[in-house]
Amino acid sequence: MLGRSAYGIFWMCRYLERAENTARLLEAGFRMALTRGDRTSTDEWRSVLVTMGLDEPYFEKGGELSPPHIFNYILRDKDNPGSVLSMIEGARTNARMVRTAITREVWEATNESWMILRDLLARPVRETNLGEVLGLIGRQCTYVRGALEGTMLRNEIFNFARIGTFLERADNTARILDVKYHVLLPSSAWVGSSLDHAQWETLLRSVAGDRAYRWLNAGRMDASGIAAFLILDQRFPKSLVFCYEKLRSNMASLARQYDGETRAHALLRDAGSRLHQTTIEDIVEVGLHEFITDFVDCNVEIANAISQDYRFTE
């Protein structure tokens, strides 16, 4: 396949994944704001901006610290290249570029999602319909994923799609953890401290893991348990270990089809074994923030290596 096609499908999937995770993050913030006694507090919204790395551009632009301003900025502001709308447009532009590498179903699902969300986000979103908008973003992304899953041939094209998805997902989960690490591990004396359950709940919700976590832990909330769940639980589809297992299998499939491994395979193998050998105790000892920073850097390095090894660009 063309290097440019590999690039296109890789980024199409990254954009979709990021759009979905952003909507999920907003949903968690929205939910927090609704359940909080103090309705005027904007802490959660501010933290959503921080998680996405959008706090600086937002405040530089003179953005107001009011929920509708913040979520409109994140969803649809033309000045925000990381808005959900630009993610969806980016996904659709890439899908259009690789139209011949994807099935008609995948193309139509992507194109239709773009048409629906573009119309929906053409006007400012009000608080009263925010829930509906976020729900629709999630459903449209699920629709595209379903089309990919159900109709694509399992060849190199599909591998590049999955690699894009899981690199992005691992990055997003890591960033959420990083911003929230003060909630989980606020100080050396974190053990046994009474932390705000609602905050933990938000954190889990933002990765769609609240129900799974409760089910696995019989409702017991525990800081290191949550961190371990998001980083190390192989069963949870947003955990770092899960994403890296998917990366491993898709890269292995590429190695089989290409009769050989690349530099990216070596980097991924190192990162994967570090992740597998670590325990939550080790992570706490090094410091969660340090662990995450290393992880995100390594994730970027792997993405760059794949891009070079498979000739995404000239």
Partner 1 sequence: MNSQNTTYDEMHGADGSVRSAYAGYAQWYEGQDQSWLRKQSTEAEGFFRRTGITFNVYGNDAGEERLIPFDMVPRIITADEWRKLARGIEQRVRALNAFLHDVYHRQEIVRAGKVPERLLRENDAYLPQMAGFVPPGGVYTHIVGVDLVRTGPDDFMVLEDNARTPSGVSYMLENRETMMAMFPELFSRVRVRPVSDYPRRLARSLAACAPPAFAARGTDRPTVAVLTPGIYNSAYFEHAFLADQMGAELVEGSDLRVVDGRIAMRTTRGFEPIDVLYRRVDDEYLDPLTFNPKSVLGVPGIMDVYRAGGITIANAPGTGIADDKAIYSFMPDIVEFYTGEKAILQNVPTWRCSEAESLAYVLDNLADLVVKEVHGSGGYGMLIGPTSSKKEIAAFAAKLRAKPDNYIAQPTLALSTCPIFTKSGLAPRHVDLRPFVLVSPNGVDITPGGLTRVALKKGSLVVNSSQGGGTKDSWVLED
Q: Both tokens of residue 228?
A: 């371990």
Site string for partner 1, 246-265 (x = CB under 8 A): ------------x-------
Of 43 and 89, which CB lies nearer to partner 1 in the complex structure? 89
- C-alpha pair distances (Å), 215 with each of 174, 192, 219, 256, 265: 22, 22, 7, 38, 35
Q: Is 148:160 a contact under the CB 8 Å cutoff? A: no
- Which residue from 46, 68, 69, 93 is in contact with partner 1, where contact means CB under 8 A? 93
- Which residue from 43, 82, 111, 222 is in contact with partner 1, where contact means CB under 8 A? 111
- Which residue from 46, 50, 69, 96 is in contact with partner 1, where contact means CB under 8 A? 96
- Counting residues that bind partner 1 (by CB under 8 A) gives 21
- Closest C-alpha among 239, 230, 234 to residue 184: 230
Spatial CB neighbours of 23, under 8 Å, sequence gap ≥ 6: 84, 134, 137, 138, 141
Stretch that binds partner 1, among 30-38, 94-102, 183-191, 283-291 (CB under 8 A): 94-102
- Which residue from 112, 210, 245, 261 is in contact with partner 1, where contact means CB under 8 A? 112
How far apart (Å, rounded) are the C-alpha atoms in residues 52 and 260? 37
Helix (H, G, I), strand (E, B) or coil at 104: helix
Contact flag: residue 2 with partner 1 (CB under 8 A): yes
Helix (H, G, I), strand (E, B) or coil at 52: coil
Stretch that binds partner 1, among 53-61, 173-181, 192-200, 306-314 (CB under 8 A): 306-314
Binding site for partner 1 (CB under 8 A): 1-4, 6, 93, 96-97, 99-100, 104, 107-108, 111-112, 115, 156, 258, 310-311, 314
